[in-house]
Chain A
Amino acid sequence: MSIVRVALRISAVEALKGRTLVGGNVLDSQIGALDVGANGSLHTPQERPFISVYTDDSKVTTGLELRSFTKGGLVDIVFEAGIATPHVVTDADTDESVIYEGVPATDANFEFHLDLTMRQIADALADPENEWAAIFNGFVRSFAHSQRSRASGDTNGVRLAAHQLKLTLDAFADPVRGVALNENSPLAVFFAKCETDLVSRMPDMARKIALMRAQITGNADELHSAMRRYGMIYGEADAMLMTPAFEVP
């Protein structure tokens, strides 16, 4: 469900930063078009080869019980890597362009860059020394599918090529409201890592963590957490003999 999706996405983005050819240019759920200014020598950090990470479609196909809407189900996480002619470095005198030192911006080298970037994404997510990857994988029960596709073109004002990796993973359920997080649980580790690593450079992160925590804190009454887990109203829990005997609702 939602909190695990947020955590999957943020930990995937952080797991990739600085570990691929795009460096820190890993974008979280980029919506708008990547635009590049006319002055080629004044590139902002985003005007470079990029990776965008999205948590896309998800589907719970089994185990919904009554209303177990906290279930994670099969979640598509999409990694898109792209490179376009305005993303490369162009010499102001010769107008020669290179992707990086010694590698000219040819079609073949665009494809090389993307293939290598995709390999680096796979390596970063499976790197035992990558703490963010460990957190990411903590939310994953198993990986169901992996799918690659590519796109390219030069008819819309840029010459570009892009690769997409779509991982369909079986995600753990969100914690039920009111059940205290075990300090070794993936989500507790995720919150702690966000607080130590991200809050200082992303001021909104503290507020977002507070909002996520608020969504899952509450009383730890066993009956209520069981009812929340299966989405039962009192009458349903009562009919299943889960409510204490003689209790007045």
Chain B
Amino acid sequence: MPVGSSFHSVRDAVVSAVDGRFAETVRLSPMSGGAKDQHRPQLEIEAVLRTGAEKSNSVETANPAAWQSKIAAGKALLYIDRTRYPDVVVRRQDAVRALARHGQPVFEVSLVDDRNHTRLIVELVHK
């Protein structure tokens, strides 16, 4: 019995249904050495962007007592449907702009998890 294929079709159906309701337009701007990457063009995609609550952290989280300065920020995660965008390549320090949000906030990629079943999971920091 082809268990794998039926599981994949259910997975794809779930991802597609969730994205249909929660995905928003974001613009990926691939970077290389701080400038735009000549080999990967800018791309607008529909993906689920989740932004966490902002909070204040010491600039040195390992030893906050030794430092006075604090900075406020929140983590964000971008979930890209790999079935819909099979060719998209995301790397650290690429930029992501949330075009549908107020002020069009921009983020920077800090981590890419490409081993997940369902989606490409991209961890973002404020930019």
When distances are taken between beta carbons in the complex, the residues of chain B under 8 Å from A50 are 69
Instruction: Given A33-B70, A97-B127, decide whether A104 and B108 contact each other with a Cβ distance below 8 A.
Output: no
Cα distance A159–B75 in the bound complex, in angstroms:
11
Instruction: Given A35-B72, A90-B95, A90-B106, decide whether A85 and B67 contact each other with a Cβ distance below 8 A.
Output: no
B31 close to chain A: CB less than 8 A: yes
Contact A78 B103 (CB under 8 A): no
A210 close to chain B: CB less than 8 A: no
Q: Which of A94, A157, A162 contacts B126 (CB 8 A)?
A: A157
Instruction: Given A40-B106, A52-B68, A156-B73, decide whether A85 and B34 contact each other with a Cβ distance below 8 A.
Output: no
How many A residues face the partner with a CB closer than 8 A? Answer: 45
When distances are taken between beta carbons in the complex, the residues of chain A under 8 Å from B59 are 80, 82, 151, 153, 160, 162
Interface size class of B (residues with CB under 8 A): 35 or more
A86 close to chain B: CB less than 8 A: yes
Contact A151 B34 (CB under 8 A): no
Cα distance A89–B61 in the bound complex, in angstroms:
25
Contact B35 A96 (CB under 8 A): yes
Those of B50-101 within 8 Å (CB) of chain A = 52, 54, 56-57, 59-63, 66-76, 93, 95, 97, 101
A203 close to chain B: CB less than 8 A: no
**Residue of B34, B36, B52, B101 with most partner-chain A CB within 10 A:** B34
12 contacts between A and B (CB under 8 A): A36-B73, A37-B103, A56-B68, A78-B68, A85-B127, A94-B42, A96-B36, A151-B67, A157-B54, A159-B108, A159-B125, A162-B59
